[in-house]
Structure 1
Amino acid sequence: MSTIIERIEKFNSGLLPDKVQLKYKAMAESPFRFFRGTCHLFYQDLVKAKSFPSSPLVWICGDLHLENFGSFRGNNRQVYFDLNDFDESMLSPLNWELARVLTSIYVAFGTLKLKKSAAVKMSGLFLDKYIETLGSGKAISIDPRTADGIVMDFLSRVEKRKEKELIKKVADVAGKDLRIKIDNLTHFKLEKELKEELIGHLGSWIKKTESWPNKYVVKDAAFRVAGTGSIGLKRYMFLLQGLKNKNKFLLLELKQGVASSLKPYNKNPQPGWKTEAERMITIKYRMQNVSPALLSTSRFKGDDFVLQEMQPFADKINLEVLARNLKDMKCVLMDMAVLTASAQLRSSGIQGSVPNGELIAFARRKDWQKPLLDYAEQYAAQVNLDYKDYCAGLPSLVH
């Protein structure tokens, strides 16, 4: 059997060599960061499980964990809290999604030095809330008007912030020389020729689109590193300035679309997507209540990309702050459970996903919850063991 190091190295072999080194180092930060960067290991192991409970086919984001929920401005300019990462999305058994997010609770709580008993309790509460929402048959959205508690406070702060002030944190927008700030942590300088090609490519797209970005001109581009699992993919960010209103700025992102890490293990028939980028944005559109602005696909130098408006900063709930107050943690987890069920309800009955009625019937069954919770608890223990092996073998990966 291959070692953890060999399995990880094989999976990441096709990524950008210099950036994958950043990924390897990031994964060593904690068991939870390791878990976020090894979605492929999770499904590679899951399909071998003998007692994993069966479930209906639904659309899943595929890599659902506590940090893949966050806020963003939709194409209606309203702020929403929702699932926000669909790189691994596919038509898959419902319990695959639940196993991933429940395992993330155990791993995250361990990383946060919280008692295992708290993880057991919160996982159970998460699943209960999920079942309640799924059984209602009605999808729910969360925005500043409908949110409660800490999520309401979080979204209200996001909504009130001035976009220009946020952009100033990642770009120099004063004077004539408008530039993205290069920090060599999340923003990296591009080679001159590639930068010019990217700016020309996006500029051409802007001229062809009939939506409101045609009022902007591209001023700068940089390489972007974000998240964990996607580090090593081609990912570019752009600074745009208004043509008429010079004080109006916009950030866009091109993110390479590649095959889902579930694909080798998911034997269920899938739609005939033209590209992986199309798969990602289509499932995102189906599962989210409102999608980010300018969601589209674009082909550049032989690769397919997802194009969308980029938030100046990833607005995620701070888990370390929540760890100080388990009542707040519970509030957030309940919202996440509601959103998980709602995304599946919203996308039900489409291209192979079961209809709403079958999801309601599944929620009423009592035979799958305990095996699922047991699997999540056991696999979280395996993640911690794999993390230790990974840290021990890391010197062989980092150059």
Structure 2
Amino acid sequence: MTTASERAARGKAARKRVPRTLHGRWIPRSQRPDPLVILERESLDRLSDLVPLRYARMAVSPFAFLRGAAGVMAADLGAERHTGLTVQLCGDAHLLNFGVYASPERTLLFDVNDFDETLPGPFEWDVKRLAASVTVAALQNGSAKPKAHRAALVAVESYRTNMRRLAGMGELEVWYERISADDILRVVRGEDRARLAKRLAGARRRTSLQALAKLTERDEAGNRHIVDDPPLLERVTDVDRVTLGKIFSDYRSSLAEERRVLLDRYHFVDAARKVVGVGSVGTRCFVLLLEGRDDSDPLILQIKEAGRSALEQYLPPTAHPHQGRRVVSGQRLTQAASDIFLGWMTGPEQRHFYWRQLRDMKGSAEVETMSPATLRDYARLCGRALARAHARSGDRIAIAAYLGASDVFDRAVADFALAYAGQNADDYAALGAAIAAGTVTAAPGV
């Protein structure tokens, strides 16, 4: 068995391969792929009628572009030297991929909450993605470059100090570590604290019962069905309903036995295709309305297509060739607690999907309206959550030793984030120019 001191020595040895100051560099290579070519390549296997909507959502702001351009940043990070200190990456750790949700015990937790791109990989890729998103958000909200740099520095410092704290804890202590709603409220100050308390209260109301009122109505016979709202929400055909029914049993088999018993107490009512997110627009996504003891006892599940991770071509082969299982396994390993209905299956045309509840007290921040102080508080919280997630799946002692007690790593990554925000601004402008020239089609207004 490797001792703690040997693990720490491994982390310090990684400094020779990749000095911490090296993380501060961002110089686009001469053969850097065209970001629009990457986005177009990602669109080839998506629903063609929704691709213009994806571009429209990405064109809203530099931060929206960053959200949708995980593949672009993956290509940039994949071309750089890395530490070799591996964790289960979120793969897309921008600010809005953190948020609150309910644990199975109905406690409101704050954590990473998106795993479409998850893969084992070097820890610093997630940290750089988080820091870049902080900087882009700060600049977009009107902060000058020094303040945007400071916000990213706070996020990375929080990651480093929490990783060092976790490195000193026992294995079970780390596994049980979590961030509750009360922890969130303690780090936010003044009027922002009252606004946050209101948002947390709103998240607690975001349940299947609330979604039932928002997404469904009764027909003349009194039967409930999902309301059409194309192109964002479209009821499926009878043929699709039969297909969804056939694949339901495959999903059921991916759940633990006691959860299959619970699921069997619900019956199918209706289904619809749903548009979600920014980067995910165009992937196949459905919602299923199920009913328990009566029509006031709903369960609404989301079925989302799982394609190959944007990181895959830059990392060793995944242990899970089924992409839905890759997402589910990464989420279960990384989150402090996961949705009890999280599962996977293979659908028509051998496409891979994963399932979860559509709403289970889920909530996210309004990053675009945050004051500089609130953004720094939120960045600090995200850095803490990311450290906790990485500590579960990677060698926290080696990573903590690599990071060290000084702020060398923090400042380097903050420097990178500021430089990369400039690159993101250029890429965003290129998308806008392509839309204006008609070489890229965007669908405004939705």
Mind listing any 5+ residue stretches in structure 2 that lack a counterpart?
1-30
CA contact (8 A) 2:86 2:121 kept: yes
Pair 372,344 (structure 1): closer, same or farther in 2 beyond 3 Å: same
Residue 45 (structure 1) aligns with: 76
Report the secondary structure of 1:92's partner residue.
strand
1:21 corresponds to 2:46: no
Structure 2 residue aligned with 1:284: 331
Aligned partner letter, 2:329 = T
Q: Report the equivalent of 1:358.
A: 398
Distance 1:98 1:17, change over 3 A: same
Pair 1:214-2:254 in alignment: no
Kept after mapping to 1: 8 A contact 2:287/2:300: yes
**What is the aligned length?**
386
Contact 1:90 1:270 in 2 (8 A): no
Of residues 203, 209, 216 in structure 2, which corresponds to 1:171?
A: 216
Asked if 1:316 corresponds to 2:367, the answer is no
Deviates more, 1:306-315 or 1:154-163: 154-163
**3-state SS of paired residue (1:382):** helix
The residue type paired with residue 366 of structure 2 is N
**Equivalent residue for 2:85, pick from 43, 50, 56:** 56
Are positions 1:229 and 2:295 aligned together? no
Tell me the distance in 2 between the aligned counterparts of 1:122 and 1:141. 23
Q: Identify unmatched segments of 5+ residues in structure 1.
A: 349-354
Structure 1 position 329, deviation (Å): 2.4
Deviation of 1:6 after TM superposition, in Å, equals 2.7
Whether the 8 Å CA contact 2:251–2:343 is kept in 1: the answer is no
Q: Structure 1 pair 32/182, CA: closer, same or farther in 2 (3 Å)?
A: same
> How many angstroms apart in 1 are the aligned matches of 2:342 and 2:298?
18
User: How much has 1:74 moved relative to structure 2?
Assistant: 2.7
Within 5 A, what are the aligned runs for 1:188-203? 188-202=234-248
- 2:269 partner SS: strand
> Following TM superposition, by how much is the alpha carbon of 1:253 offset from its aligned partner in structure 2, in angstroms?
1.0
- Report the equivalent of 2:180: 143
User: What is the correspondence of 1:348-387 to structure 2 with a 5 Å cutoff?
Assistant: 348=394, 355-364=395-404, 366=406, 367-387=408-428
Kept in 2, the 8 Å contact 1:27–1:37? The answer is: yes
8 Å CA contact 1:73–1:293 kept in 2: the answer is no
User: Is 1:125 aligned to 2:154, yes or no?
Assistant: yes
205-214 or 275-284: which moved more? 205-214
Distance 1:120 1:16 in 2: 38
1:8: which partner in 2? Answer: 39
Q: Is the alpha carbon distance of 1:180 and 1:203 closer, same or farther for their aligned partners in structure 2, counting shifts above 3 Å?
A: farther
How far residue 72 of structure 1 moved from its aligned partner, in angstroms, is: 1.9
Distance in 2 of aligned mates of 1:222 and 1:144? 32
One-letter amino acid of the structure 1 residue matched with residue 274 of structure 2:
R
2:302 is aligned to 253
Q: Distance in 1 between matches of 2:124 and 2:50?
A: 33
Moved more, 145-154 or 223-232: 145-154
Partners of 1:239 and 1:90 in 2: how far apart?
A: 31
Whether the 8 Å contact between 1:76 and 1:293 is mirrored in structure 2 is no
1:157 positional shift:
3.7
The percentage of aligned residue pairs carrying the same residue is 23
* TM-superposed deviation, 1:314: 5.5
Deviation at 1:147, TM superposition (A): 3.1
CA distance, structure 2, for counterparts of residue 173 and residue 360 of structure 1: 56
Contact 2:206 2:359 in 1 (8 A): no
How far the C-alpha of 1:365 sits from its partner, in A, is 5.9
User: Which residue number corresponds to residue 3 of structure 2?
Assistant: none
* Cα distance in 2 between the residues matched to 1:157 and 1:229: 25
Counterpart of 1:215 in 2: which secondary structure?
A: coil
- Describe the shift of the 1:66–1:224 C-alpha distance in structure 2 as closer, same or farther (beyond 3 A): same
2:403 aligned partner, one-letter code: A
Q: CA deviation at 1:232?
A: 1.2
Native 8 Å contact 1:166 1:313 kept in 2: no
State the Cα distance separating 1:205 from its structure 2 match: 5.5
Question: Take 2:278 and 2:140, find their aligned partners in 1: how far apart are those partners?
Answer: 16
8 Å Cα contact 2:84/2:121 also seen in 1: no
Confirm or deny: 8 A CA contact 2:119 2:309 kept in the other structure. Answer: yes
Aligned partner of 1:87 among 95, 98, 116: 116
Instruction: Give the SS at the match of 1:80.
Output: strand
Q: Distance in 1 between matches of 2:360 and 2:229?
A: 14
From the superposition, tell whether residues 239 and 129 of structure 1 become closer, same or farther in structure 2 (CA, over 3 Å).
same
| Cα distance in 2 between the residues matched to 1:205 and 1:44 | 32
More helix by share: 2
Name the CA shift for 1:114/1:215 in 2 (closer, same or farther; >3 Å). same
Moved more, 197-206 or 101-110: 197-206
Q: Would the alpha carbon gap of residues 194 and 290 (structure 1) be closer, same or farther in structure 2, given more than 3 Å must change?
A: same
CA distance in 2, matches of 1:199, 1:177: 19
Is the 2:93–2:130 Cα contact (8 Å) retained in structure 1?
A: yes
Counterpart residue identity of residue 165, structure 1: Q
**Following the alignment from structure 2 to structure 1, what is the Cα–Cα distance between the partners of residues 249 and 78?**
45
* Mapped pair 1:304 → 2:347: no
Pair 1:115–1:195, CA change in 2 (3 A): farther
Aligned residue identity for 1:13: L
Aligned to 2:433: 392
User: How big is the shift at 1:228?
Assistant: 1.2
1:347 aligns with 2:393: yes
Contact kept? 1:235, 1:255, Cα under 8 Å? yes
1:103-122 mapped onto 2 (5 Å cutoff): 103-122=132-151
The higher relative CO (CA closer than 8 Å, separation ≥ 6) is in 2
Letter in 1 for 2:306: G
Query: What TM-score results when the alignment is normalised by the length of structure 1?
Result: 0.88
Query: RMSD between aligned alpha carbons?
Result: 2.5
Cα deviations by residue, 1:281-336 (Å, 9 ceiling, x for unpaired): 111101100012211112222222101111178521112332xx333322222211
How far did 1:185 drift? 4.8
